[in-house]
Amino acid sequence: MLLIVVAGMFAAVLVAVIVFLSAGDERRDVREALRNLADYELPSNMREQEMLKSIQERVVAPFIAKLSALFDRFTPAGYKQTVRERLVKAGSPAGLDADRFMTLKVFGALSIVFWPYFAFKLAGLGGFYGMIVTGLLWGISFFGPDVWVQRKTDQRQYDIATRLPDVLDLLVISVEAGLGFEQAIDRTVDAVPGALADEFRRMLQETRMGTTRAEALRAMDERCQVPELRSFILAMLQADTFGVSIGRMLRQQADDMRIRRRQRAQEQAQKAPVKMLFPLIFCIFPSLFVVILGPAALQITKSGLT
């Protein structure tokens, strides 16, 4: 029970830190909007201009940058780039970037100094149990951000895979109505919000900035890493290369993605009995045994004593 309470407290603190780090983004957007107003005059005093910034920009961001630079010295080469790629796949949850993520990892690593005091002094645990609790809490502190980002990545990939058939259906309708592929995507992303719509919107922005459609589609595939989306992108690239009708290709892809979504749902349904086996054995069966066999055991014990 104590471990559950401690884990809950740590999770609450971690969420509060992430929310605090990301809360300044909205205030910063408001300030930027005010600065862009024609009748909004910036103070001439440099100190007043600096005070217009949020506390995150004035205090937290420089501290995180210095801590991240210090952490870079003790990490393998390419680790920060790997963190950036993982956060891109996760959709940059809560405005988290590589510096903030590495700062959370640093705090998690340094928490090894606090957890022994908490386990042995505050919680009053013994030697063996105190070491177990210390190791468990330190593991949650250090590996918690990695697990959270991985869960966000899996959730985002699942959302993209499940929404792709609906998006393709709308694209088929728009293309067959006479719109071009980019115009069809532009109308579709407003009708189906979500991670997939954000990726298509970013792809459109890249093409408008001069990137070819093939390069923008390949970049979207690298960011998402979803097999269903990769299949659609490969079909789209082949259609551009060989001059195949985009409307016919989109209709075929929509049918294929609908079949894949049905197969994914069937796969999840068949995994349910296996997942229910462990709570059934370790939680439900012991309770049933106590209720059913408990009175019989008491009667046998009493008859044996008499």
CATH number of the domain that residue 201 is part of: 1.20.81
| 54 domain residue, yes or no | yes
Same structural domain for residues 6 and 109?
Answer: yes
Q: What is the pLDDT of residue 39?
A: 46
| 284 domain residue, yes or no | no
Same structural domain for residues 105 and 30?
Answer: yes
| 270 domain residue, yes or no | no
Q: What is the pLDDT of residue 46?
A: 59
Same structural domain for residues 82 and 168?
Answer: no
Sequence-distant (≥ 6) Cβ neighbours of residue 49 within 8 angstroms: 42, 43
Q: What is the pLDDT of residue 30?
A: 54
Q: What is the pLDDT of residue 6?
A: 47
| 63 domain residue, yes or no | yes
Is residue 56 within 8 Å of residue 24, measured between CB atoms?
Answer: yes
Sequence-distant (≥ 6) Cβ neighbours of residue 232 within 8 angstroms: 164, 168, 253, 257
Same structural domain for residues 48 and 109?
Answer: yes
| Tokens standing for residue 285 | 């069966």
Same structural domain for residues 183 and 241?
Answer: yes
C-alpha closest to that of 198 among 167, 171, 174: 167
| 291 domain residue, yes or no | no
| 40 domain residue, yes or no | yes
Number of domains in the chain: 2
- Backbone φ and ψ for 38, nearest 5 degrees, come out as -65, -35
| 56 domain residue, yes or no | yes
Per-residue pLDDT of the chain (306 residues; tens, 9 = 90+): 444 444 455 554 554 555 444 544 555 555 555 555 544 444 455 555 555 566 566 666 666 666 666 666 667 767 778 888 888 888 887 777 777 788 788 788 888 888 888 888 887 777 788 888 888 888 888 888 889 999 999 999 999 988 888 888 888 888 888 888 888 888 888 888 888 888 888 888 888 888 888 898 899 988 888 888 898 899 888 888 887 788 888 888 888 888 888 888 888 888 888 888 888 888 888 888 888 888 888 888 877 666
Domain extent for 9 = 2-113
Is residue 185 within 8 Å of residue 204, measured between CB atoms?
Answer: yes
| 153 domain residue, yes or no | no
- Which residue, of 92, 113, 134, is where some domain finishes? 113
